[in-house]
Amino acid sequence: MYKKYRIRLSPEQRQQLLDLTRCGSTTAQRVRRAQTLLMADSGLADRAIGEILHVHPRTVERTRQRAVDDGVEAALVDRPRPGAERLLDADDELALTVLACSAPPDGREHWTMQLLADALVELEVVPAISDETVRRALKKTISNPGRSSSGVCPI
C-alpha cells in the first residue's frame, strides 16, 4: 500500500532517535514516538508498529505525518493544546490571598469561596470568577505540609 507520509531518516536522525530510546532521562511518550519513527523508517506497516508498541495504527500515521510535515523533533513532542486563558495572574492571586487573610464581611465568621469570588468581582480584580477557581487558586498557596494550620493565613 502506498503511504502518503513516508519516513526517510538520515543517518544522523536515526542515530539521534536510537540514542533517545536508549537513554533513561526522557518521557515514555517521547521514546514511543522515537520508536515509531525508527520502525516506520525500516518499512514496517502502521498496523505492525501499533501492535508492537501497543498504540493505534492511526497514532502511528499521525506521528509519521508530523515528522514529514513539521520535522522529526516536532513529531516527538506534543503540540500546545488550546485552553482557556488563566483568570488570575500572580498579582490577582496575591490580591485573593490578601483578601482571604483579611477580616470576613460583617455577620460572617469566615470567608467562603463564594464570598471571595463575589468580592473579587466587586473589587474589579476580575470581571467574573467561580468559587471553584477561587478554591483552586487558594489551594496552591496552602500546600505546605509542614504547617499545622490548614488555612491560607498563619493565624
Residue 23 lies in a domain: yes
Domain shared by 72 and 95, yes or no: no
When divided into structural domains, the chain yields a total of 2
Residue 154 lies in a domain: no
The tens-digit pLDDT sequence of the chain (155 residues) is 556 788 999 999 999 999 999 987 889 999 999 999 999 999 999 999 999 999 999 999 999 999 999 999 999 998 888 888 888 999 999 999 999 999 999 999 999 999 999 999 999 999 999 999 999 999 886 645 545 555 555 54
Domain-ending residue, one of 41, 76, 111: 76
Residue 146 lies in a domain: no
Domain shared by 71 and 97, yes or no: no
Nine-digit cell at 148? 499545622
Q: What DSSP assignment string belongs to 17-71?
A: HHHHHH-SSS-HHHHHHHHHHHHHHTT--HHHHHHHHTS-HHHHHHHHHHHHHH-
CA–CA dist 112, 110 (Å, integer): 7
Domain shared by 94 and 70, yes or no: no
Full residue range of the structural domain in which residue 41 is found: 11-76
Domain shared by 56 and 95, yes or no: no
